[in-house]
Amino acid sequence: SPVVAPPEPRARVIYTTHTIFMASLCATIASTRASPVVTRRDTRARRVVGAVNRVRANTVLVRAANAAQEADNQMRVKVLSEALPYLQRFAGQTVVVKYGGAAMKSEELKAAVIRDVVLLSTVGIRPVLVHGGGPEINAMLEKVGIEAKFLNGLRVTDAATMEIVEQVLTGKVNKSIVSLISCAGGKAVGICGKDGNLLRGEIKSEELGFVGRVTKVDATVIKNLVNGGYIPVVATVAMDKNGQALNVNADTAAGAIAATLGAEKLILMTDVPGVCTDKDDPSTLIRELTMAETEASIAAGTIAGGMIPKVQCCTTAVNNGVKSAHIIDGRAKHSLLLEILTDQGVGTVITN
């Protein structure tokens, strides 16, 4: 029956509060009756369903991981299969690698290059590593307060600078490379152009100071090391007839050593992908050049600037008995292996 509100204000407040409380209580009871009762059996069932779903999800993940692993294995087998004819062809052959530039700045890249060199040695190829060390020389010159000077891209080398160059190249840089090879499982011996009369030279220009041009190579010490199963690591410090140390361009030295050894390949690791028709566009990379095409490209200006001496170093080596010369990007991981052991390669190859 309808309820008549009390007339008094205080009674009205009490009545209102009571009404709200009763309404809330009735709603709570109704909600409880509407909700299903959760039993222990229901809880166990839910746990079982959750566990089954987790197992299914894990099974999907495991299958995906197995598929990815299988694809990776197939890729590795494909790479090894593609490399097989090159491994057979170059087994016992000498490959001279000029190592420098950006590939020596990054510790990660340095380690990758050294592992590749050790791998080549392990599979029967006979690598000879010739290195520069420009950044390290600059850092040491700055440390001792000597200003680095250059003329036409070549380091002006006075007596004080030559002393630093020899210390850095034959000491710090050379021995650090030897250590890395040893840690990677290879056997290396570090030498410079003075050792065994390897590199004789003469002063190239009075303006440049003790910058040398190679006049004679005696590769006996390198042959002995290679025949003994060692990887020669050569610092490019030569000497003149009076025993004066000379700073020799690493590209030039590597080319002269490769020619004397009759190497299968000369590989220059640089800071560019190779010879490009547009130096700023890697997609214009020229994969292969004959000697005639190389000369025509220089005459046409396609090959210009700092690439000219590198290309000329390659052509000189090829003209003097090296089977092929390669210019590759030392900044790219495993570029050395990709250039030697794959069909396409990664840089520019110059041949006869």
The answer to whether 257 and 197 are in contact (CB under 8 A) is no
| Dist. CA 10–CA 31, nearest whole Å | 32
The residues that are catalytic are 98, 101, 134, 251, 310
How high is the pLDDT of residue 218?
97
| Dist. CA 259–CA 178, nearest whole Å | 24
The answer to whether 200 and 216 are in contact (CB under 8 A) is yes
CA-only gyration radius of the chain, Å: 36
| Dist. CA 270–CA 247, nearest whole Å | 19
- pLDDT tens sequence across 280-323: 888 899 999 999 999 999 998 888 888 888 999 999 999 999 99
How high is the pLDDT of residue 225?
97
What string of H, E and C letters represents the secondary structure of 172-196? HHHHHHHHHHHHCCCCEEEEECCHH
How high is the pLDDT of residue 160?
94
| Sign of the C-alpha dihedral computed for residues 19, 23, 24 and 26 taken in this order | positive
Mean pLDDT per 10-residue section of the chain, whose length is 352 residues: 51 54 56 55 73 80 80 72 87 95 81 94 96 90 90 86 95 95 96 96 92 96 96 97 94 96 96 87 92 91 86 94 94 91 90 90
| Dist. CA 323–CA 145, nearest whole Å | 44
How high is the pLDDT of residue 150?
85
Determine how many CB atoms are found less than 10 A away from the CB of residue 332: 18
